[in-house]
Amino acid sequence: MSGPTSPTAARTAGDIMIEADGVSRAFGSLRALDSVSLSARRGTVLGLLGHNGAGKTTLVNVLTAALPPSSGRAAVAGFDVTRAPREVRKRIGLTGQFASVDPQLSGRDNLVLLARLLGADRRSARVRADELLELFGLQGFASRRPGTYSGGLRRRLDLAASLVGHPDVIFLDEPTTGLDPSSRLNLWEIVEDLVAGGTTVLLTTQYLDEADRLADSITVLSAGAVIASGTAAELKAQVGTCTVTVTPDSAAGPAVTCAALRQAGLEPVPDRENGTVAVAVEASKDIAQVIRALDRAGIGATALSFREPSLDDVYLALAGRSAGAAS
């Protein structure tokens, strides 16, 4: 085969790094995964969205060769998870929902231990550990035990631990659950850097904004089955609109407010119980429209909130029900 691109390079560039084809997994009578198919190409982030119990972690377990599928086929980094689990494990990193580090070893010793288990000699193991400590800003904590770390630091050590072996594919199972906003942002930036460097990431999350920010494509799981997949924009288009909720002051009240907003061409939905009015808008910039309408009618508001479509909205919408969660 002759051409500008060598066959090897072409194969590498287009590599499907994560692939599941009709993967099912049952625990007794419980069908934890129901014929799940998905794929991710090298250097992309696949977001796996779903509530607790949707099957996200089970799928991660299957893809990391920790749990054999009951049926179907899965391959990671080009190796079948059932037939070549050891080859898969050489090429993956896993950060679970809970930090998986030895609490009795220092941060550095944890990383050295993993490098040694992966086959590094003593010296390269130490070099690798120090690299990762530096990359994750953990040098100051290197000789301390993870028990003394904050939640954010521990998660960073855990992520560092999953990168020890230069993995091609990283699995992040709800990596930001329980993290404060700044640690969350910090972790997002680390993931973005990794992906820019060609690592493939599978990220499970309950948060749409996280998937939105990081994922190139999103697969939504519900009760073990894929109920939607596509880019963040495609999913949001299926869900529809954002919601502005107005709490008018007592002088105006919901009824008057509704009338004013209707006059401005909006479609308000009153919530009499809470004394609020919900308005569906296309995007965040449309808040101005609502404010202008209120201003023109001389209505004062004690509170105004804006909400993007949530995972709940996605679920409701995909389940074929009305997405009017605001009312």
Partner 1 sequence: MTTPSIGTPNPAPPVPDPAPGPAAAVWNGSSTATQIRVLTGRSLRALVSDPGVLAFGLFQPVIILFVLTQVFTGMGKSAHFPAGVSYLDFVMPAVLVDNAVQSAVQSGIGVVDDLKNGMVARLRSLPIHPASLLVARSLANLVRAAIQIAVVIVLAVVVLGYSPKGGAGQLLASAGLAVFITWTLGWAFIAAATWLRRAEPMQNLSVIALIPLMFASSAYIPVSDLPEWLRVIAKVNPLTYAIDTARALALDLPGAGAAVPAVLISAGIAVVGGVFAVVGLRRPL
Q: Which stretch binds partner 1 (CB under 8 A): 104-112, 240-248, 251-259, 307-315?
A: 104-112
Judge whether 235 and 218 are in contact, CB under 8 Å.
yes
Our finding on whether 91 is near partner 1 (CB under 8 A) is yes
Instruction: Write the CB contacts of 199 (distance below 8 Å, at least 6 apart in sequence).
Output: 43, 167, 168, 169, 170
Q: Which of 1, 86, 273, 285 binds partner 1 (CB under 8 A)?
A: 86
Q: Which of 116, 126, 213, 307 binds partner 1 (CB under 8 A)?
A: 116
Instruction: Classify residue 293 as exposed, middle or buried by CB count within 10 Å of its CB (0-12, 13-18, 19+).
Output: buried
Our finding on whether 74 is near partner 1 (CB under 8 A) is no
Judge whether 261 and 319 are in contact, CB under 8 Å.
no
Cβ 305 to partner 1, closest distance in Å? 33
**241-280: contacts with partner 1 (CB under 8 A):** none
Our finding on whether 294 is near partner 1 (CB under 8 A) is no
Cβ 265 to partner 1, closest distance in Å? 37
Judge whether 201 and 45 are in contact, CB under 8 Å.
yes
Q: Which of 30, 71, 83, 117 binds partner 1 (CB under 8 A)?
A: 117
Q: Which of 23, 111, 187, 195 binds partner 1 (CB under 8 A)?
A: 195
Binding mask 132-161 for partner 1 (x = CB under 8 A): x-xx-------------------------x
Give the residue from 229, 157, 164, 203 showing the smallest Cα distance to 56. 203
Give the residue from 208, 171, 165, 4 showing the smallest Cα distance to 76. 171
The residues pairing with 306 across neighbouring beta strands, listed in sequence order, are 244
Rounded CA-CA distance 262/269 in Å is: 10
Our finding on whether 185 is near partner 1 (CB under 8 A) is no
Our finding on whether 93 is near partner 1 (CB under 8 A) is yes
* Residue ranges with strand state E in 84-212: 92-95, 169-173, 200-205
Q: Which stretch binds partner 1 (CB under 8 A): 36-44, 180-188, 219-227, 262-270?
A: 36-44
Which tokens belong to 82?
């059932």
Judge whether 192 and 283 are in contact, CB under 8 Å.
no
Give the residue from 204, 294, 305, 198 showing the smallest Cα distance to 253. 294
Stated as kind and residue range, the H or E segment containing 49 is strand 45-49
Q: Which stretch binds partner 1 (CB under 8 A): 86-94, 253-261, 271-279, 282-290?
A: 86-94
Our finding on whether 80 is near partner 1 (CB under 8 A) is no
Q: Which of 21, 24, 31, 66 binds partner 1 (CB under 8 A)?
A: 66
Q: Which of 54, 61, 142, 268 binds partner 1 (CB under 8 A)?
A: 61
Our finding on whether 186 is near partner 1 (CB under 8 A) is no
* Residues binding partner 1 (CB under 8 A): 5-6, 8-10, 12-13, 15, 27, 41-44, 61, 64, 66-67, 86-87, 89-94, 96, 98-105, 109, 113-120, 124, 127-128, 131-132, 134-135, 161-163, 165-168, 193-199, 216
